[in-house]
Chain A
Amino acid sequence: MHIVVCAKQIPDPETPPSAFKIDAANNKVIPAQGIAPVLSQFDGIAAEAALRIKEANAGSKVTVISMGAESAQAAIKQVLAMGADEGVLLNDPAFEDGDSHTTATVLAAAIKKLGNVDAVFCGRQAADWDMGQVGLLVAEDLGWPVAIIAKGVAMGGAGLQVQRVLENGFESLETPLPAVVTVSNEFGEPRYPKLPQIMAAAKKTVTNWKLGDLGLDAGAVGKAGSRLKLEKLFIPEKGGKVELMEGDTPQAQAAALVARLQADKIL
Chain B
Amino acid sequence: MAHNVLVVGELAGGSPTSTTLELLGGAQGLAAGGSVSVALLGTGASAAAAKAAGASKAFVSDDAGYDAVKAEQWLAALEVAVDQSGADLVLIAQSSAGREIGPRLAARKKTAVAMDCAKIEDAGGLKFTRPAYGGNALATYSIATSPAIATVRAKSFEEATGAGAGEVVQLPAAGASRTNITGMEKAVSAGLQITDATVVVSGGRGLGAPEGFKVVEELAAAIGNDKAAVGASRAAVDLGWYPPSQQVGLTGKVVNPDLYIAVAISGASQHMAGCSGSKTIVAINRDKDANIFGFAKYGIVGDWKAIVPALIEEIKKAK
Contact = CB atoms under 8 A, between A and B. Distances in A.
Contacts of B1: none
Contacts of B72: 145
Interface stretch (A52-60, A84-92, A259-267): A259-267
A250 B307 contact: yes
Interface residues on A, range: 35 or more
Interface in A150-179: 157-158, 161, 165-176
B263 interface: no
A231 B123 CA distance: 12
Interface string A120-145: 00001101111111001101110001
B58 to A, nearest CB: 24
A148 B98 CA distance: 11
Contacts of A170: 184-185, 187
Interface residues on B, range: 35 or more
A68 to B, nearest CB: 16
B215 to A, nearest CB: 13
Contact of A258 (B99, B301, B311): B311
Contact of A257 (B104, B279, B282): B282
A44 to B, nearest CB: 13
A172 B282 CA distance: 38
Interface in B74-94: none
Contact of A17 (B237, B269, B300): B269
Contacts of A129: 132-133, 139
A233 interface: yes
Contacts of A132: 99, 103, 115-116
Interface stretch (A75-83, A205-213, A222-230): A222-230
B298 A260 contact: yes
Contacts of A253: 300, 302, 307, 310
Nearest to B187: A169
Contacts of A236: 137-138, 276
A148 B100 contact: yes
A250 B132 contact: no
A13 B134 contact: yes
Interface in B96-150: 96, 99-100, 102-104, 106-108, 111-116, 127, 131-134, 136-145
A253 B309 CA distance: 12
A13 B259 contact: no
A contacts with B: majority SS: mixed
B294 interface: yes
Contact of A227 (B143, B182, B282, B288): B143
Contact of A242 (B185, B250, B297): B297
A63 interface: no
Interface in A98-140: 99-101, 124-125, 127-133, 136-137, 139-140
A250 B312 CA distance: 11
Contacts of A175: 178-180
Contact of B188 (A169, A245, A255): A169
B244 A165 contact: yes
B223 A267 contact: yes
B180 A158 contact: yes
Q: By CB atoms of chain B within 10 A, which of A11, A236, A250 has the most?
A: A250
B137 A235 contact: yes
A133 B188 contact: no
A257 B284 CA distance: 11
A35 to B, nearest CB: 13
Q: By CB atoms of chain B within 10 A, which of A29, A137, A167, A168 has the most?
A: A167
A167 B259 CA distance: 22
Nearest to B71: A146
A137 B103 contact: yes
B115 A131 contact: yes
Contact of B179 (A127, A173, A251): A173
B127 to A, nearest CB: 7
B299 interface: yes
A229 B144 contact: yes
A244 B300 contact: yes
Interface string B303-319: 00011011101110010
B107 A124 contact: no
Contacts of B102: 133
A261 B259 contact: yes
Contact of B313 (A133, A239, A251): A251
Contacts of B112: 99-101, 226-228
Contact of B181 (A20, A173, A238, A262): A173
A242 B287 CA distance: 14
A157 B145 CA distance: 40
A229 B182 CA distance: 39
Given A140-B104, A231-B127, A258-B318, 17 more contacts: A13-B133, A100-B112, A101-B112, A129-B132, A129-B139, A132-B103, A137-B103, A149-B99, A161-B182, A172-B182, A173-B181, A227-B144, A229-B141, A239-B295, A242-B294, A250-B306, A267-B318
Sorted from nearest, which 4 A-B pairs have the closest CB atoms? A172-B183, A227-B112, A140-B107, A254-B310
17 contacts: A17-B136, A29-B137, A127-B270, A130-B116, A140-B103, A140-B104, A145-B179, A158-B180, A169-B184, A172-B184, A176-B178, A228-B112, A228-B141, A232-B140, A249-B310, A262-B318, A266-B279
